[in-house]
Amino acid sequence: MVVEPSPPNPTWKQKKLSRRPSPLIVSKTQPLHSNYNKAPPLASLLAGVGSGALSSLACAPLDLIRTRLQVLGSVQVSSRAVEGRGTNVKALSTSSHPSASVIGTLRSIVKEEGWRGCFRGLGATLITVPTFWGIYFPLYEASKNYLHSRNDARDGNIYNRFNDSNKNNTEVIAQHLISAVVAGAAADVFCNPLFVVRTRMQTEMLYNNHNKKAKPDGIAQVVKSLYREGGFLIFWRGLSASLLGLSHVAIQFPVYEQMKAVARRRSENGIESPLDILLASGISKICATTLTYPHEVMRSRMMDHRSVNSSKGMGIVFTFRQILRKEGPLAFYSGLRIGLIRVLPNCCITFASYELIIRWIKEISIETESN
């Protein structure tokens, strides 16, 4: 009689790991907003800052071109007005007449400012964009989880109802919309001074005739210059246009979340693949950008506004009327082409890196706890 040896008893560590789900595998029936799946605030903050830094570095030239095209119309209008009066005002003179096309703008930057000119304002961007996403993502996740938890307690788990029965799709969309607007409003108010400084640094050479020899102002110099120009309140110039632009995230994030939910339902392990995240982020951003782009032009114009009387022309209504009267309705879509081109690398890098960093942090956290 042969007695088969019994399998060795599992260690306490193996038992602990066997009871713990893999951070990268989620059951289709597992609640999306359970405690396990919620992104910890610190993890969300780190992922937001990291993803913002990566996208800033990768898309700096595209971001610079977009901003310059957005404000170029107002610079040219001011230049024609100055030339018509025969007044020599250097701050509003653009004798080089920069091109209004994407390729022409890039060539002009490289020719007249050198390749380093493609990264004007990068220092300010590396402060501004990571800060924005470092605020936005934790607030968005916290708001979304709060709204979901309230409805989970009242009606049962929303994830299962959304993915299995689709009976409350409108309710889920509303929760994502509210979370996006709340997080966007808070991030816009806090980061508006940073965006004003960045915009001024990016457009500075438009007012210096693309002078390659002109030494660009640093962040501290721009801050001092802005304060002398309009005092403390100038750092919140363009905020009304930014708040108007909350419609952008109100479109983008519900579309993004729904596309991720569809991808989860189709996935064998219940999670989105990197390709799913890229598609969801890219398509949602293109939809939002196309529908709400005029607010970006008005915001850039307001932030970049330079006048002898700096208190004049700051309002969103005044800016809207000036653009419409002097440049026509198509001016509200200045830079849209490069904006859509920029969507693919910028948004896809931001969202894909955010989701993957979150998963990586969760995995490390679980491994650390298991040890």
Check residue 371 and report its DSSP letter.
Answer: -
For 41-370, the fitting CATH number among 1.20.58.220, 1.50.40.10, 1.20.1440.230, 3.40.50.970 is: 1.50.40.10
Q: Copy the structure tokens of residue 133.
A: 């996403």
Choose among 150, 363, 166, 125: nearest CA to 262.
Answer: 166
Cα distance between the two ends of the chain: 42
In the chain, what percentage of residues exceed pLDDT 70? 74
Calpha distance 106→64 (Å, rounded): 9
Residue-wise pLDDT tens digits, 18-77 = 444 444 444 444 444 444 456 678 889 999 999 999 999 999 999 999 999 999 877 776
Calpha distance 299→329 (Å, rounded): 16
Calpha distance 276→268 (Å, rounded): 13
Choose among 23, 17, 129: nearest CA to 358.
Answer: 23
Calpha distance 110→103 (Å, rounded): 11
What DSSP string describes 10-52? PPHHHHHHHHSPPTT---TTS-TTSTTTSPPHHHHHHHHHHHH
Q: Copy the structure tokens of residue 187.
A: 């991030």
Calpha distance 270→343 (Å, rounded): 27
Q: Which amino acid is at 269?
A: N
- The beta-strand segments (E) located in 155-300 are none
Calpha distance 196→192 (Å, rounded): 6
Q: What is the pLDDT of residue 366?
A: 78
Torsion of CA 248, 249, 253, 255, to 10 degrees: -20
Calpha distance 334→191 (Å, rounded): 24
Q: What is the pLDDT of residue 16?
A: 44
Check residue 121 and report its DSSP letter.
Answer: T
Which residues have C-beta within 8 Å of that of residue 113, sequence separation ≥ 6? 120, 205, 210, 212
Q: What is the pLDDT of residue 15?
A: 46
Q: What is the pLDDT of residue 274?
A: 87
Q: Copy the structure tokens of residue 171.
A: 């309710």
Is the separation of the CB atoms in 112 and 96 below 8 Å? yes
How many helices and strands in the chain, by DSSP H and E? 13, 0
Q: What is the pLDDT of residue 271?
A: 84
Torsion of CA 113, 118, 119, 125, to 10 degrees: 120
Calpha distance 260→270 (Å, rounded): 10
Q: For residue 153, count CB atoms less than 10 angstroms from its CB and return exposed for 0-12, middle for 13-18, buried for 19 or more.
A: exposed
Q: What is the pLDDT of residue 214?
A: 62
Domains of the chain by residue range: 41-370
Sequential pLDDT tens for the chain (371 residues) = 555 555 555 554 444 444 444 444 444 444 444 444 566 788 899 999 999 999 999 999 999 999 999 998 777 766 555 555 554 444 444 434 455 678 888 888 888 888 888 999 999 999 999 999 999 999 999 999 898 888 766 655 544 444 444 446 788 889 999 999 999 999 999 999 999 999 999 998 888 765 555 677 889 999 999 999 888 999 999 999 999 999 999 999 999 999 999 999 898 888 888 899 999 999 999 999 999 999 999 999 999 987 544 555 568 999 999 899 989 999 999 999 898 888 888 888 999 899 889 888 888 877 777 76
**For residue 268, how many other CB atoms are within 10 A of its CB?**
7
Is the separation of the CB atoms in 149 and 155 below 8 Å? no
Residue-wise pLDDT tens digits, 278-315 = 999 999 999 999 999 999 999 999 999 875 445 555 68
Q: What is the pLDDT of residue 105?
A: 86
